[in-house]
């Protein structure tokens, strides 16, 4: 008998239990065990119904992703599900935790499903660049209809048990906490009431109702906007459509063909790399499960601006009280008003209830007095980027906060060690770099100073998890990982326009790669005045900052989206960037002024100069130990800058292009364009010489 799947009988119910931590994934051993246990149940004449239940924290969370890319060992999941569906004895699945992907497909092969009210179900294969490949695209529509099945399968959303009941995906919801008891009660009812074997494949009413509707074309049209450049969401629609146009066995065949196409696509490899990279990033070199973690039950935030307010919401959302300190009542009121508005918008959209909104607002207290920080466990400073101001704040915090409180800065570029140097407790000082909008963006770039203690590092990584962010621990340098690389891309993007490219051409190359917006649309979002002010300050301090056409935009009051004109122009109420001939004229004048002869620039050159310059910088970041692993950099870019997860992150992407190709281009641009950013990283050269990849680090 398999060790991971067991069969036992309790009364007249045969119980099949999967116990394969951590998430009961459908490895080869589990698939074989499921078949063996089913056979035992069929032979057991005292078993009048069978119950499938899982041990541990969850029902089956899907196929074992670690087996992907290796030769498939029989039995395949589809045949396991088919055998369950063929069972002559009624089969009940009892769901707790999450029934996902192949897990939900297995449950759909059973004849009835009961779920704890805390459980969720979903078919998230699309997030791995796949589609459900064990009958999910054929069975789910037979229960939930075309619209709901398409929504679930193309987005991968997790549906709470109560909603799943409403959609017809589960047959009962149990309010208790004991999944086995819930399953036994339902199975006993099946026996006592003589409930029949009910095979999902034989259900026809939803198929008949939705057949011929234009819902599929509508989905394809909307995916063109939301899943631009992605492969699997469109294949998901094709597979679900097959459930309506083909008999069940043919539909299954079509699903298999489409599944194989997705499995062979490079996007699948990229998505799965992203999945594991996100999880690996939480395992920090030098820290272990035994590293002590401090309790963070209350938080102080300095600054009620856009960043401070967004950061506060993250904590209130998970029930942690926050005190926000501002300098002036007016600024405080404004900041708290914006937070309230954000929550009201979420409530209007039905994302939170009125009560949740009130509870969250009640957790946020405004103050004008730093003394209110004296008992908090963590303070996050979120004021503007000025070292002198930050140092003054940290000295003050040092004198007020209790021993053991963590003092964090949300700086996006400044030296954490210098900030820490004004305190008597540099071991408690750390960077916590949130990305704007801080209540939405998932990345939390935690920055270790040279003296930050392991305990504090472990705590800020645990805080990230607690507030549902993806934490990445990085080292201390100007701009850390994300902004340091972005800065180099910015230099090249500007240079490309100087030399003859149009801003919209540069942006299109980046959005075609899968970024949600290009370099110049991003400048308009952030505000052209931000960079202009920094350049002016440097110039006033006597530094040689070369002039740029962007300065001219700022001087003309074209500050970006907020003035409805920047690099692009904008229409009232729209964030859609529209190329502006006026800007092209400003750029042309600038070229003339600077004596630059404009030339034709190819998209390939734009791609190479914007992306390879980042890869070269990333190699320097790795070389200096600012990032421990290439995957940390991938995670920073996916969750902080919207780099497409289906390309696996910029490091995974670079490995696929080939480091030798990239190094050759870096050397070429070093010779032709010049500049520190093109000096080839020693690590890049070394990896090419050794025939290794960034992903090997
Ligand atoms: N296969 C293998 N390992 C898996 C896995 C899977 N399907 N799902 C999770 N794991 C591993 C994680 O890598 C992690 O391992 P680690 O501890 O060594 O880092 C561990 O299980 C715990 O995972 P999380 O840290 O993510 O734990 P959470 O509690 O935060 O989340 C979860 C649990 C909601 C189940 C989340 O892990 C998840 O979403 N998993 C992926 C589910 C999925 O995509 N299923 C579909 C798979 S494809 C499929 O089924 C194809 C089929 O149609 C043929």
Predicted confidence at residue 462, as pLDDT, reads: 97
Please answer whether residues 497 and 503 qualify as being in contact, where contact means their C-beta atoms are separated by less than 8 angstroms: yes
Query: Which atom of ligand 1 approaches the CA of 275 most closely?
Result: 13
Q: How far is the CA of 282 from the centre of ligand 1 (A)?
A: 15
Among the atoms of ligand 1, which is closest to the Cα of residue 124? 44
Interval between CA 565 and ligand 1 midpoint (Å): 45
Which tokens is 151 given? Answer: 């929504």
Res 545: pLDDT: 85
State how far the Cα of 446 lies from the Cα of 463, in Å rounded to an integer: 10
What is the band of 63 on the pLDDT scale with cuts at 50, 70, 90?
very high
Tell me the two tokens of residue 265. 């696509």
Whether 593 is a known active-site residue: answer no
Paired residues of 473 in beta bridges: 446
Q: Which ligand 1 atom lies nearest to the CA of residue 136?
A: 53
User: Which residues sit opposite 114 in a β-bridge?
Assistant: 94, 172
Q: Which atom of ligand 1 is nearest to the CA of 283?
A: 19
pLDDT at site 2: 64
Ligand 1 atom at shortest distance from the alpha carbon of 102: 50
Number of helices and strands in the chain (H, E): 29, 19
Q: How much is the mean pLDDT over the chain?
A: 96
Domain spans of the chain, in order of start = 5-263, 299-478, 501-598
The β-bridge relationship of strands 364-367 and 172-174 is unpaired
Q: Among 105, 381, 492, 608, which one carries the catalytic annotation? A: 105
Is domain 501-598 classified as CATH 1.10.1040.50?
A: yes
CA gap 167, 144 in Å, rounded: 5
How many residues belong to the chain?
A: 697
Residue 546: pLDDT band (50, 70, 90) is confident
Per-residue pLDDT averaged across 428-443, rounded?
95
Dump pLDDT digits (tens) for 24-45.
999 999 999 999 999 999 999 9
Percent of the chain with pLDDT over 70: 100
| pLDDT (tens digit per residue) in 600-625 | 999 999 999 999 999 999 999 999 99
Residue 395 · residue 423 · CB < 8 Å? yes
Query: Are 475 and 573 in contact, with CB atoms under 8 Å apart?
Result: no
- Domain 5-263 homologous superfamily, CATH: 2-enoyl-CoA Hydratase; Chain A, domain 1 (3.90.226.10)
User: Is residue 130 within 8 Å of residue 94, measured between CB atoms?
Assistant: no
Task: Determine the pLDDT at residue 69.
Answer: 77
Q: Report the nearest-CA residue for atom 20 of ligand 1.
A: 22
Which residue's CA is minimally distant from atom 25 of ligand 1?
279
Ligand 1 atom nearest 57 alpha carbon? 29
Q: What is the pLDDT of residue 1?
A: 53
Pocket of ligand 1 (CB under 6 A): 22-23, 25, 61-66, 77, 98, 100-102, 105, 124-125, 128, 130, 132-134, 136, 279
If you take atom 35 of ligand 1, which residue's CA is the nearest one?
A: 61
Mutate to test the pocket of ligand 1, among 24, 61, 152, 240 (most ligand atoms within 8 A of CB): 61
Q: Which of 301, 299, 317, 309 is nearest to 334 (CA)?
A: 309
Name the helix (H) or strand (E) containing 38.
helix 28-43
Name the residue with the closest Cα to ligand 1, atom 36.
61
In this structure, the residue with its CA closest to atom 47 of ligand 1 is 62
Q: In a mutational test of the pocket of ligand 1, which residue from 18, 23, 29 has the highest number of ligand atoms less than 8 Å from its CB?
A: 23
Q: How far is the CA of 94 from the centre of ligand 1 (A)?
A: 19
Please choose, from the candidates 628, 624, 696, 627, the residue with its C-alpha nearest in 3D space to the C-alpha of residue 659: 696
Task: Give 89's DSSP letter.
Answer: S
Contact yes or no for 320/299 (Cβ under 8 A): yes
Nearest CA to ligand 1 atom 22: 22
From ligand 1's centre to the CA of 25, what distance in Å?
7
Pocket test for ligand 1, best of 58, 65, 137, 260 (most atoms within 8 A of CB): 65
**pLDDT tens-digit readout, 247-278:** 999 999 999 999 999 999 999 999 999 999 99
Distance 389 CA to ligand 1 centre (A): 44
CATH for the 299-478 domain, from 3.30.160.270, 3.40.50.720, 3.40.1440.10, 3.40.50.1580 = 3.40.50.720
Measured from the CA of 77, which atom of ligand 1 is nearest?
Answer: 54
φ/ψ (deg, to 5) at 244? -95, -20
Annotate 337-380 with DSSP letters as a single string.
HHHHHHHHHHHHTTSS-HHHHHHHHHTEEEES-GGGGTT-SEEE
Q: What is residue 52's three-state secondary structure?
A: strand
Predicted confidence (pLDDT) per residue in 381-397, tens digit: 999 888 999 999 999 99
Measured between its terminal Cα atoms, the distance across the chain in Å is: 40
Q: How many Å lie between the centroid of ligand 1 and the Cα of residue 23?
A: 7
Q: Which value, to the nearest 10 degrees, does the dihedral of the CA atoms of residues 295, 301, 302, 307 take?
A: 130
Residue in 65, 81, 172, 72 with CA at minimum distance from that of residue 124:
65
Q: Measure 468 CA to ligand 1 centroid, in angstroms.
A: 16
* Ligand 1 pocket test target in 21, 22, 136, 631 with most atoms within 8 Å of CB: 22
How is residue 344 written in tokens? 């009201």
List Cα–Cα distances, 540 to 124, 148, 184, 532, 545, in angstroms.
54, 60, 77, 12, 10
Q: Residue with the nearest Cα to atom 54 of ligand 1?
A: 133
Nearest-CA residue for atom 43 of ligand 1: 62
Q: How far apart are CA 696 and CA 646, in angstroms?
A: 19
Mean pLDDT of all residues in 517-535: 89
Assign 158 a pLDDT band (cuts: 50, 70, 90): very high
Buried b (16+ CB within 10 A) or exposed e, 220-233: beebeeebeebbbb
Instruction: Please state whether beta strands 5-10 and 13-18 pair in parallel, antiparallel, or not at all (unpaired).
Output: antiparallel
Cα–Cα distance list, 208 to 166, 203, 205, 243 (Å): 19, 10, 5, 11
229 alpha carbon – ligand 1 mean position (Å): 25
Q: What is the torsion angle, in degrees rounded to the nearest 10, for the CA atoms of residue 554, residue 558, residue 563 and residue 566? A: -110
The sign of the torsion formed by the CA atoms of 556, 559, 562, 568 equals positive
**Considering only CA atoms, which of 168, 261, 159 is closest in space to residue 210?**
168
Residue nearest (by alpha carbon) to ligand 1 atom 32: 61
Residue nearest to atom 40 of ligand 1 (CA): 61
Tokens standing for residue 592: 């003339």
Round to whole Å and give the CA distance between 649 and 638: 6
In the residue annotation, 536 being an active-site residue is answered as no
Q: How far is the CA of 127 from the centre of ligand 1 (A)?
A: 12
Confidence of residue 688 (pLDDT cuts 50, 70, 90): very high
**Parallel, antiparallel or unpaired: strands 429-434 and 443-448:** antiparallel
CA distance 40 to 33: 11
Q: Whose CA is nearest to atom 38 of ligand 1?
A: 61
Query: Residue 311: CA atoms inside 13 Å, Cβ hemisphere, count?
Result: 31
Which ligand 1 atom sits nearest the alpha carbon of residue 127? 44
Quick: pLDDT tens for 444-481. 999 999 999 999 999 999 999 999 999 999 999 999 99
At 504-521, the pLDDT tens digits run 999 999 999 999 999 999
Of these residues, 85, 125, 255, 492, which one is catalytic? 125
DSSP 574-635: ----EE-HHHHHHHHHHHHHHTPPP----HHHHHIIIIIHHHHHHHHHHHTTSSSSHHHHHH
Give the model confidence (pLDDT) of 113-157 as tens digits. 999 999 999 999 999 999 999 999 999 999 999 999 999 999 999
Strands (E), 395-480: 406-409, 429-434, 443-448, 470-474
Q: How many CB atoms lie within 10 A of CB 17?
A: 18
Burial letters for 303-338: b for 16+ Cβ neighbours within 10 Å, e otherwise? bbeebbbbbbbbbbbeebebbbbbeeeebbeebbeb
Q: Indicate if 501-598 has the same CATH topology as 5-263.
A: no
Residue 606 structure tokens: 């734009």
By the 8 A CB rule, do 431 and 449 touch?
A: yes
CA of residue 38 to ligand 1 center, whole Å: 25
The string of DSSP codes covering 102-165 is HHHHHHHHSSEEEEETT-EEE-GGGGGT----SSHHHHHHHHHHHHHHHHHHHH---EEHHHHH
**Closest ligand 1 atom, residue 103 Cα:** 50
CA of 61 to the centre of ligand 1 (A): 6
Q: What is the pLDDT of residue 68?
A: 85
């Amino acid at each position: 008998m398999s060790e991971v799947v067991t069969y036992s009988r309790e009364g007249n119910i045969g119980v099949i239990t999967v116990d394969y931590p951590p998430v009961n994934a459908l490895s080869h051993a589990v698939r074989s065990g499921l078949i063996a246990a089913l056979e035992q149940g069929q032979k057991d004449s005292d078993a009048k119904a069978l119950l499938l239940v899982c041990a541990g924290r969850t029902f089956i969370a899907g196929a074992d992703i670690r087996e992907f890319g290796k030769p498939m060992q029989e039995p395949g999941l589809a045949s396991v599900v088919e055998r369950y569906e063929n069972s002559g004895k009624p089969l009940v699945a009892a769901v707790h935790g999450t029934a996902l992907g192949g897990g939900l497909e297995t449950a759909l092969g059973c004849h009835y499903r009961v779920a704890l009210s805390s459980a969720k179900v979903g078919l998230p294969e699309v997030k791995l660049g796949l589609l459900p490949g064990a009958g999910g695209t054929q069975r789910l529509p037979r229960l939930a209809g075309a619209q709901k099945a398409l929504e679930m399968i193309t987005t991968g959303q997790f549906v709470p048990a109560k909603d799943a009941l409403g959609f017809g995906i589960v047959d009962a919801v149990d309010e208790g906490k004991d999944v086995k008891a819930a399953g036994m009660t339902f199975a006993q009812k099946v026996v006592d009431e003589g409930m029949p074997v009910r095979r999902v494949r034989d259900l026809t009413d939803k198929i008949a109702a939705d057949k011929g509707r234009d819902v599929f074309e509508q989905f394809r049209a909307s995916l063109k906007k939301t899943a631009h450049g992605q492969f699997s969401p469109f294949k998901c629609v094709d597979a679900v459509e097959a459930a309506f146009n083909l008999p069940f066995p043919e539909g299954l065949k079509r699903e298999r063909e489409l599944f194989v196409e997705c499995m062979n696509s490079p996007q699948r490899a990229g998505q799965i790399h992203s999945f594991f990279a996100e999880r690996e990033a939480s395992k920090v070199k030098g820290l272990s499960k035994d590293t002590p973690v401090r309790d963070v039950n209350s938080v102080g935030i300095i600054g009620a601006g856009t960043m401070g307010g967004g950061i506060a919401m993250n904590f209130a959302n998970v029930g942690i009280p926050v005190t926000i300190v501002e300098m002036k009542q007016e600024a405080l009121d404004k900041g708290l008003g914006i937070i309230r508005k954000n929550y009201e918008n979420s409530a209007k959209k039905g994302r939170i209830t009125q009560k949740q909104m009130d509870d969250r607002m009640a957790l946020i207290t405004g103050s004008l007095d730093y003394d209110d920080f004296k008992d908090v466990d963590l303070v996050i400073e979120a004021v503007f980027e000025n070292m002198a101001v930050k140092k003054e704040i940290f000295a003050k915090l040092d004198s007020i906060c209790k021993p053991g409180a963590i003092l964090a800065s949300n700086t996006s570029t400044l030296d954490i060690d210098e900030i820490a140097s004004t305190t008597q407790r540099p071991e408690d000082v750390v960077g916590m770099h949130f990305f704007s909008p801080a209540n939405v963006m998932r990345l939390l770039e935690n920055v270790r100073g040279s003296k930050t203690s392991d305990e504090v590092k472990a705590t800020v990584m645990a805080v990230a998890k607690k507030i549902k962010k993806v934490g990445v621990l990085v080292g201390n340098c100007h701009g850390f990982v994300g902004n340091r690389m972005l800065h180099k891309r910015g230099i090249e993007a500007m240079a490309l326009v100087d030399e003859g490219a149009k801003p919209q051409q540069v942006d299109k190359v980046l959005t075609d790669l899968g970024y949600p917006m290009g370099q110049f649309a991003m400048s308009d979002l952030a505000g052209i005045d931000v960079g202009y002010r920094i350049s002016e300050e440097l110039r006033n301090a006597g530094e040689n900052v070369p002039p740029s056409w962007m300065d001219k935009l700022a001087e003309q009051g074209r500050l970006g989206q907020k003035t409805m004109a920047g690099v692009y122009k904008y229409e009232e109420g729209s964030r859609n960037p529209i190329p502006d001939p006026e800007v092209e004229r400003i750029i042309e004048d600038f070229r003339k002024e600077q004596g630059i002869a404009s030339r034709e620039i190819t998209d390939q050159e734009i791609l190479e100069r914007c992306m390879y310059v980042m890869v070269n910088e990333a190699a320097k970041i790795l070389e200096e130990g600012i990032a421990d692993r290439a995957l940390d950099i991938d995670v920073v870019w996916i969750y902080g800058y919207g780099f497409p997860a289906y390309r696996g992150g910029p490091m995974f992407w670079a490995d696929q292009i080939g480091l030798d190709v990239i190094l050759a281009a870096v050397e070429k641009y070093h010779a032709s364009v010049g500049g520190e950013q093109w000096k080839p990283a020693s690590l890049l050269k070394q990896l090419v010489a050794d025939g290794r990849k960034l992903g090997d680090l």
